[in-house]
Amino acid sequence: MIDQYIYALANYGVKKGLIGKEDKPWAVNRLLQALELSAIGPEEAAGEDLPLEDILAPLLDDAEARGIIPGGVVSRDLLDTKLMGELTPRPSQVIAAFWEKYDRSPEEATDWFYGLCQDADYIRRYRIAKDMKWVTSTEYGDLDITINLSKPEKDPKAIAAAKAAPQSGYPKCQLCRENEGYAGRVDHPARQNHRVIPVTIDGKDWFFQYSPYVYYNEHCIVFNGQHTPMKIERATFRKLLDFVKLFPHYFVGSNADLPIVGGSILSHDHFQGGRYTFAMERAPVERAVTFPGYEDVEAGIVRWPMSVLRLRCEDDERLVELADKILTAWRGYSDPAVSIYAETDGEPHNTITPIARRRAGKFELDLVLRNNLTTPEHPMGLFHPHAELHHIKKENIGLIEVMGLAVLPARLKGELARLGELLVSGGDVAADPELAKHAPWAEELREKYTFTPENVDQILRDEVGKVFAQVLEHAGVYKRNEAGQAAFLRFVESVG
- Cβ neighbors of 443 (< 8 A, separation 6 or more) are 429
Say what the alpha-carbon torsion angle 229, 233, 238, 242 is, to the nearest 10 degrees: 30
Taking a C-beta distance cutoff of 8 angstroms, is the pair 130, 213 a contact?
no
- For residue 3, which of 27, 39, 34, 30 has the smallest C-alpha distance? 39
For the entire predicted model, the pTM comes to 0.94
Those residues with Cβ within 8 angstroms of residue 227's Cβ, 6 or more apart along the chain or in another chain: 172, 173, 175, 176, 267, 268
User: pLDDT at position 47, please?
Assistant: 67
CB neighbour list of residue 472: distance below 8 Å, 6 or more residues apart: 140, 304, 305, 306, 397, 401, 402, 404
Q: How far apart are the first and last CA of the chain?
A: 74
Contact (CB, 8 A) for 304 and 280: yes
**What is the amino acid identity at position 437?**
K
Contacts of residue 92, Cβ cutoff 8 Å, sequence gap at least 6? none
200 exposure class (CB count in 10 Å sphere: 0-12, 13-18, 19+):
exposed
Q: Residue 48: its pLDDT value, please?
A: 76
CA angle 466, 472, 474 (to 5 degrees): 105
Phi, psi torsion values for 261, nearest 5 degrees = -95, 0
Residues of the chain with pLDDT under 70: 46-47, 152-165, 167
**What's at 487, amino acid-wise?**
A
Helices marked H in 168-297 — which ranges? Answer: 234-246, 279-282
Give the pLDDT confidence score for residue 159 in this predicted structure. Answer: 53
Rg (CA), the chain: 25
Cα 475 to Cα 163, 345, 356, 399, 469, distances in angstroms: 35, 22, 21, 12, 10
So what's the pLDDT on residue 165?
Answer: 63
Cα separation, 128 vs 148, whole angstroms = 8
Angstrom distance (rounded) from CA 419 to CA 478: 34
- Torsion of Cα atoms, 303 then 288 then 320 then 280, to 10°: 10
Phi then psi for residue 347, to 5 deg, are -95, 120
Are the CB atoms for 479 and 405 separated by under 8 Å?
A: no
| Whole-number pLDDT of residue 263 | 77
Phi, psi values for residue 352, rounded to 5° = -135, 145
